[in-house]
A and B are shown apart, each in its own frame.
Chain A
């Protein structure tokens, strides 16, 4: 199951209209070569500008990571300085190596959150798609309401509730909200309907498998791409989350990288020596995600394709 996902019909309702494998880009050639060169230059030129707009700030970050405090303010932005290794060493040694702790926390929260959220969402999405039960419409409606309410509007209520039971400043304060993502349930339902033909499940049932067993032994394996996609989306969402951990956590050994770097940034005014740390920390936070993105591209496309279905 690979690149064809991108070209598959978006949903069953469009099945009649959509045409699957049309190789992207190979179309009927235009008849006027001169106009075509101009169009090509214009089109690709704008795309280059767009790509440059996206990439140059990251390039700046890479170069800035090589500079120390004095060359950061004043020297040319896009020339390499000599302090790359020194900055990284300082980053990893600062405050007893707390940056690595922060990275570890981010990975823990995002990883555990993503895995549990994906599993829980898949179960729920499967139920919504394959099972019939009373109140299904109502329950799915509440899921959709959950999708429509912005994350940040519930952060302070979450804090208030957690504070009332004394759970703030623990990792559960960050993990439990991470496990719950209504949008993932929606995605899971789409994936289930796309990847899991009823016939296969029926066959399993005829063989005597109960619904739970058929889900675990038949459904899940077929849903692996969906699982990975949902998990990936949730991983990124949790890794990026800022307001929730900022509010919930006071102990800096529990911070994820987003909050940790913010803590350093808020000390830059008093102590300008924190600037290179902030930049080097930003660099190290960005690299793993960029690598993950490039390697796991197809799951992204699958997720976004599915997500654009209404």
Chain B
């Protein structure tokens, strides 16, 4: 269990920032606050329902018009497209970037700091944890949208038939997996996605901290003890055929959910909508429950699973208008209502979750999912940072999960690739 670290934004970045000679990507001169921003801006996101949010914004006022384009998500090349577009000057004004990718974009200067564009009070409303995910070198590079906790989803009826309760510890989880297999040899408690392995949030939940700051160096410890413990645990489950290894979000996974082959999901609060659309045709309403992740040592512990922020890119020629839309998008209840039930979000801005709960498909589930989300959020392990270019690690990890013999070996390969990759960028890294 790593030592409690204050969010990295505070002392560490401040110290590091003092050592940096270069200038950050400059925030363009913005018009004085007295001018009302107008104009047309473009908005890219891979999240569902954003077209409706853009439409709602356009209807609510006349000054700024938002032109929305849906892009593939990260796993399918969305960030590649974004990066290429920004570099060629044709990027959008506003774009959704998940927390784990934001440092990379900030470090390359592809997104601009928001401290002059967004009022300080707004920025101050967010929790330290979440603010730490969007603040680098003492500047804010994105407005947090959601702060989705790691949440487990189970088929309550399958657990009942197997004679087990919703697991509260990882030992109980393993026992439940065994019981499910025993009750129905074709069924699994859950599956392990090889294309989007959840090792990062699971390691986070176990208390690991893959990226830390030591002075002005990054400390990379992807294969530390806590993470290795997690990897070994899941490898054992895979080896003993207690969980199914498969490609997540694929047709096979869809079919398995529908047919009761896979009866759980290690996901996040955002899973609720997707799970509903994928399983309602099979008549599974009321059968699924959300649960906080099992604990390792009896103490509740959580993590964030994914999460998106919205940022203004370097290509934007109308940063003031972009910022205006940004604020609507992330802080206005109307935006939450407009998005509707296609994307259950556990939002980062205070007060929005009451609105979200009303439009989310909570009826589909057998328990109060937002209460579970609250619980899971309350114990998020502190001190996590995503490193200056997590994409190197992510790519290496996905490749290694398919290629390496065990998940532990995959973590080691990821560690090596990350250190190499960061060193090739010219950064000093300690392990």
Q: A-side interface residues toward B, CB under 8 Å? A: 73, 163, 166, 168-169, 247, 250-252, 263, 266-267, 269-270, 272
Q: Which of B72, B73, B85, B89 has the most CB of A within 10 A?
A: B72
CA distance A266 to B195 in the complex (A): 14
| Contact (Cβ within 8 A) B249 A269 | yes
Say whether A250 contacts B85, CB under 8 Å: yes
Asked if B214 is at the interface (CB within 8 A of a chain A CB), the reply is no
Asked if residues B251 and A266 are in contact (CB atoms below 8 Å), the reply is no
Stretch at the interface among B8-16, B75-83, B130-138: B75-83
User: Could you tell me the dominant secondary structure of chain A's interface residues?
Assistant: loop
Q: Which residue of B lies closest to A252 (CB)?
A: B69
Q: Contacting B87 at CB < 8 Å: which of A163, A251, A263, A270?
A: A163
Q: In this complex, what residue of B is CB-closest to A265?
A: B76
Count of interface residues, chain B, beta-carbon cutoff 8 Å:
20
Closest Cβ neighbor of A69 among chain B residues: B251
**Distance from A272 Cβ to chain B, minimum over Cβ atoms (Å):** 7
- Residues in B with CB closer than 8 Å to A252 are 69
A250: B residues at CB distance < 8 A? 81, 84-85, 88, 90
On chain A, the residues within 8 Å of B89 by CB distance are 166, 169
Q: Is the CB of B88 within 8 A of A270?
A: no
CB <8 Å contact, B88 and A163:
yes
CA distance A250 to B86 in the complex (A): 10
B72 contacts A267, C-beta separation under 8 Å: yes
> Max chain B CB contacts within 10 Å: which of A163, A169, A247, A266?
A266
User: Which A residues are CB-close (under 8 A) to B87?
Assistant: 163
Closest 10 CB pairs of A and B: A266-B76, A250-B85, A168-B88, A269-B249, A266-B72, A169-B88, A169-B90, A267-B72, A266-B77, A250-B90
Set of chain B residues within 8 Å of A163, measured between Cβ atoms: 87-88
A269 to B90, Cβ gap below 8 A?
no
Instruction: Tell me if B76 and A270 are in contact (CB < 8 A).
Output: yes
**Can you list 19 A-B pairs with a CB-CB distance of less than 8 A?**
A163-B87, A166-B89, A168-B88, A169-B88, A169-B90, A250-B84, A251-B90, A263-B72, A266-B72, A267-B72, A267-B76, A269-B75, A269-B250, A270-B46, A270-B72, A270-B73, A270-B76, A270-B249, A272-B251
Asked if B254 is at the interface of the complex by the 8 Å CB criterion, the answer is yes
Q: Can you name the residue of chain B whose Cβ is closest to the Cβ of A74?
A: B255
Contacts of A168 in B (CB 8 A): 88
